[in-house]
Amino acid sequence: MRKLGFEPDPWQIEVLESQHPQLLLNCCRQAGKSTVVAVLALVHALFNANFRVLILSRSHRQSKELLRLIKLFHRMLSEQILERQTVEELELMHMSRIVSMPCKEETIRGFSHVNLLIVDEAAQVPDDVYRTVRPMLAVSKGRIICLSTPHGRRGFFWNAWQRGGDAWARFEVPASMIPRITPEFLAKERDAIGESWFRQEYCCSFEALEGVVYPDFARCVVDELPAHVAAVDAQHTDWFDGQRLGGIDFGFRNPFAAVWGVKDRDDVIWLTGEHYHRQKPLWFHAEHLPRDVVWYADPSGATEIEELIRANCVVRKGINALRAGIAAVSARLQNGTLKVLRGRCPNLLAEAGLYRYGTRPSEAKGEKPVDAHNHALAALRYLVSTVDRGRMALEKLPTPTPQPQSPPRNWWDWMDDDDDDHPDNKGWVRC
């Protein structure tokens, strides 16, 4: 890099010297991640014959932009081994090639013996494209470098960063490590774009932001249940303190998801449990579903509903109106009548951070979210849509729990009560 006129940052030196086969570069904006990867790709191609580098990004324009940077560095080094170059490829005389690829699964197959695979802006590359290109490294035992600024808690880049273990070498480069980015600039950016976007763009934090269907879902998590709800949940009280209800989304390859809880006397739904499993037979799910719960299930699963009823589960068809259901769940989140007990529904909460509307041009204007990360959420939607049927257009406000009244001390106190509908007056005839 110094030969090109750059003084590398310490983290860039570490990347250039790393021999790990799989690298994750989680970098803030303008950190220099494209520069260091371009240098690394060019050095490998110059000093290794028949070396193949493939560049993939979220768009073909962006992968060509990284290739353009590599070609610029090649010209700056005045190397004389150029064979040919096009908008999409740089080929050297000793048969090394650097190729930019479009981000389309159907058009990138066919490459083999890839020595270095570069995935630029990896957080925005679709998972199906990533799965398509990984086998290109099988025979060559080549390296893969994924570089990106975070883009939400979803996708292979986030999953590898969070759960990839020792299979990946990780480099986290926030703006505080970049001497070229001043504190004054960062202060202005924080004010301009807001705290969450600032953490994602400049602090390497994976934030659930753009297009999330339920952005406020985390606010409904509580640490404990009110006494009257806890009693119903433990089956230690009568039905008038609340009712145990649940929702079911059927699946086999996709998860079979069920969530349940208590709808209390104040119309608040308190979720206290979930069942979430893949590739299990229906009898397995039936064994794990509480029997004292009234279930509202995906109405398209008529056979599953019938079988669960035969297994002594109380199951009814839920309402599967997607837009209205999302609106119903959102309304409860906004007015505080949906609560989730902490630690009881981990998959539901995980899906709430991932379920989002599409960001592609063909999806951006629609009201139908991407059909992924929505199984426990679908079970919740069936439950809420059915419970709130006929009341979705009415404003629901949490009502205070009525305080129990002390019984009258004398029998004639009943006779002086003007409310004929008072429960204590039943059975009395006025004279």
Q: What is 2-202's CATH topology? A: Rossmann fold (3.40.50)
Rounded distance, CA 338 to CA 385, Å? 13
- Structure-token pair, residue 61: 């324009």
DSSP 168-213: SEEEEE-GGG-TTS-HHHHHHHHHHH-HHHHHHHHS------TTBS
Rounded distance, CA 348 to CA 141, Å? 38
Cβ atoms < 10 Å from Cβ of 357:
16
- Residue type present at position 15: V
Q: Tens place of pLDDT for every residue, the chain, 431 residues?
A: 788 888 999 999 999 999 999 999 999 999 999 999 999 999 999 999 999 999 999 888 889 999 999 999 998 887 678 888 899 999 999 999 999 988 877 777 777 889 999 999 999 898 889 999 999 999 999 999 999 999 887 789 999 999 999 999 999 999 999 999 999 999 998 887 777 778 889 999 987 656 788 887 878 889 899 888 888 878 755 555 689 999 999 999 999 999 999 999 889 999 999 999 999 999 999 999 999 999 999 999 999 999 999 999 999 999 999 999 999 999 999 889 999 998 899 999 888 878 888 766 555 556 789 888 899 999 999 999 999 998 877 765 444 444 444 443 343 343 344 444 444 444 444 33
What are the sequence ranges of the domains in the chain?
A: 2-202, 217-387
189 Cα distance to chain centroid? 25
pTM more than 0.95: no
Considering the domain delimited by 217-387, tell me its CATH architecture. Answer: 2-Layer Sandwich (3.30)
